[in-house]
Amino acid sequence: MSLMNHQLSSSSTISSSSSTFLAPTDFNSRRKSIKVQVKKFGACKCVAAPHEEKIAFKTKVSRNANMAKLQAGYLFPEIARRRAAHLLKYPDAKVISLGIGDTTEPIPEVITSAMEKRANALSTLEGYSGYGAEQGEKPLRAAIASKFYSNLGIEEDDIFVSDGAKSDISRLQVAFGSNVTMAVQDPSYPAYVDSSVIMGQTGQFQKDVQKYGNIEYMRCTPENDFFPDLSKVSRTDVIFFCSPNNPTGSAASREQLTQLVQFAKKNGSILVYDSAYALYMSNDNPRSIFEIPGARQVAIEISSFSKYAGFTGVRLGWTVVPKELLFSDGFPVAKDFNRIVCTCFNGASNVAQSGALACLSPEGFKAMQEVIGFYKENTKIIVETFNSLGFKVYGGKNAPYVWVHFPGRSSWEVFSEVLEKTHVVTTPGSGFGPGGEGFVRVSAFGHRENILEACKRFKQLYK
C-alpha cells in the first residue's frame, strides 16, 4: 500500500507487531517499538518479501519415454472425470451412465454362493489354500476347455486363467517385446494401442491423422461391413482383432474369419483374438477363432467372465495359447507366455475361480445366459429408440453396444451435448481410434428403468 502526502521523519517508530498492517486491535501486551532510520519519501510502498520457491526433489531416473507418447488420459478415466465435473455443475441431476461397459445387474446366487462357500472354507484348516497354480486351477481349466472349445483341439493345458482379459493383453505385449509391429481394427478397444505404445512398439502420435506411427490401422466402416479390406493391410507381426467388436458391436462371419486366419498364416503373423462378447452372439457366426481351420497355428484367444457373469469387479478371465503356435525359431509361444505369467502373476483369486467354475455348471450357465439376455433386451430398446429418431445405427445384435452415427460432427462434441442436455453419459467414438470419429457408443449395461429413462431423454433431445 502507499502513504500519499505524508512526510516521514528521519527517525520513525514502527511497531514490530504485524497488527500494524491489519485492522486496529487492542492486543498490545507484548508490543515493542524499535527505531529505524529511513529516508524521506513522498510515498512509501510496502512490498511483501518473495516467498522462497520450493523445489521438489528429483531422482536421477529417466521417465519411460513411451509413456510421454500417450495422448491425454486413458479414455474411460477421462469420461469419468468429465462426468464428475458435470455433477459439480448439476449436483441435483440424475446422471445415467451408458458410457463405460460396466455391468449393473446382480451376479446370480448360484455363482455367488459358490464363492461364499469357498471363502468360508478359507477360515478352516481343511479348506484353507494359499498360492495356487499360476495357470489356474485344473478343474476350471478343464471346464473352460470343455464348455467353450469342445472338439476344437484345445486342451486344458492350453488355457491360462487370469484376473481378466485386459490384464492378459498387457502380459501378451510383454511376451512379444518392443521389436514387433502390430495391426489393430480401427476403431477398437483402446487397451490394444495403449499397451503397444507403452511397450515401445510404436512411433510418435501424429496429430494430423490421429494415429501412432508404426501401427497398422485396419479401417472398419459401415461400407466394408466393419471388416477390414485385407488386401490393403500391410504385414505386421501381431494382429489384434475383436469379434463381436467393441465398440461397433459387429461380428465377423465364418468366411471373414477364414480370410483373417489365412491372411495371418500367409504373413507369418500372430493373431490375438478377443472373444470377450462371444456369448452375446445372436446368429451362427463363430464364437471362437479356433472354429476356423488352421487357427491353432497362428492364433491366441483371450476371453473373460466380466460381461457374461458380472465379474467386472470379481476379475476372472482366460487366454488360450495352443501348443502349435510357434515363434520364427520354432520355440512355443505358450512357453514364453507361461514364463511371463509365472513371473508377473501369482494366479487368479481362488474365490473368483470357484465362482467361474459355478458359471460353467448347468445351473450357473443358464443363470448367466439369463443375465446376458437381459442386457440384450436393453440393447434392443436403445436400437429401436435411435432408429425411431432417424439415426443410422449399427451393432446391438451381437454385442451389448450400439454404434450411432452423427455424420459431420465431432464425437466429443456429441458426447458433451448429450451429457449437458440429457445428463446421460455415452462414449465418444473417436476415443476408439480415428475411424470412430462421427460416432458415439451407447452401452446397454444398465438397470432397465435407467435404460428407459435415457431413451426418453434421447427422444426429447433429438425428436
Count of residues in the chain: 463
DSSP string, 235-274: P-SEEEEESS-TTT-----HHHHHHHHHHHHHHTPEEEEE
Query: Whole-angstrom Cα distance, residue 306 to residue 326?
Result: 29
pLDDT bracket for residue 72 (50, 70, 90): confident
Domain 73-105+367-462 fold: Aspartate Aminotransferase, domain 1 (3.90.1150)
Closest CA to 262 of 220, 233, 222, 225: 233
At residue 308, the pLDDT reads: 97
Q: What is the mean pLDDT of the chain?
A: 91
Integer Rg of the chain from CA: 30
Q: What are the residue boundaries of the structural domains of the chain, listed by start?
A: 1-47, 73-105+367-462, 109-364
Burial (CB < 10 A; 0-12, 13-18, 19+), residue 101, is buried
Please tell me the distance from the alpha carbon of residue 345 to that of residue 337, in angstroms, as a whole number: 11
Q: What is the dihedral of CA 444, 446, 450, 452, to 10 degrees?
A: 30
Task: Decide if pLDDT at 50 tops 70.
Answer: no
Residue 383 has pLDDT above 50, yes or no: yes
CA gap 453, 463 in Å, rounded: 15
Q: How crowded is residue 282: how many other Cβ atoms within 10 Å of its Cβ? A: 13
* Vertex 369 angle, CA 394 and 152, to 5°: 85
> What is the structure's pLDDT at 329?
98
Q: How far apart are CA 22 and CA 99, in angstroms?
A: 53
pLDDT band at 1, cuts 50/70/90? very low
Hey, is 322 helix, strand or coil?
coil
CATH fold for domain 109-364? Aspartate Aminotransferase; domain 2 (3.40.640)
Question: How many H helices and E strands in the chain?
Answer: 12, 17
- The pLDDT confidence band at residue 114, using thresholds 50, 70 and 90, is very high
pLDDT in tens, 24-43: 344 344 444 444 454 444 55
pLDDT of residue 451: 98
Q: Which three cell numbers stand for residue 8?
A: 516521514
The reported pLDDT for the residue numbered 315 is 98
Q: Please tell me the predicted confidence (pLDDT) of residue 342.
A: 98
Report residue 437 as a C-alpha cell. Answer: 470419429
As a whole number of angstroms, the distance between CA 325 and CA 296 comes to 6
pLDDT at 9: 40
Please compute the mean of the pLDDT values over residues 372-397 and round it to a whole number.
98
Yes or no: say if 406 and 253 are a contact pair by the CB < 8 Å rule: no
Residue-wise pLDDT tens digits, 272-326: 999 999 999 999 999 999 999 999 999 999 999 999 999 999 999 999 999 999 9
Q: Identify which has the larger pLDDT, 17 or 424.
A: 424
User: How do 427-428 and 439-443 pair as beta strands?
Assistant: antiparallel
Maximum pairwise Cα distance, the chain? 104
Q: Determine the Cα–Cα distance for residues 253 and 286; give it in Å rounded to an integer.
A: 7
